[in-house]
Amino acid sequence: MSEAVSQISVEEQIQCAELELEKRRKFYPKWVKEGRKNPVIADREIAAMEAIIATLKQVKEPRLL
């Protein structure tokens, strides 16, 4: 892992992932309609990004069981 990667905070990773999710929600429907993106894959990739964000938030603020 490079030094630059290790310097990126969890909060910054969350912000970046949220921005990516926003872009996917904006562009994927158009791409699906145009036939540039498979709808099943588009839904799966959006769900994956949502899961990434949820995981990062849990890492940032773990819940006590």
Shortest CA distance to 42 belongs to which of 56, 60, 26?
26
Digitized pLDDT (tens) for each residue of the chain, 65 residues in all: 678 888 999 999 999 999 999 999 999 999 999 999 999 999 999 999 999 999 999 999 887 66
Let me know: does 21 contact 51? Beta carbons within 8 Å.
Answer: no
Would you list the domain boundaries of the chain? 10-34
Amino acid at 2: S
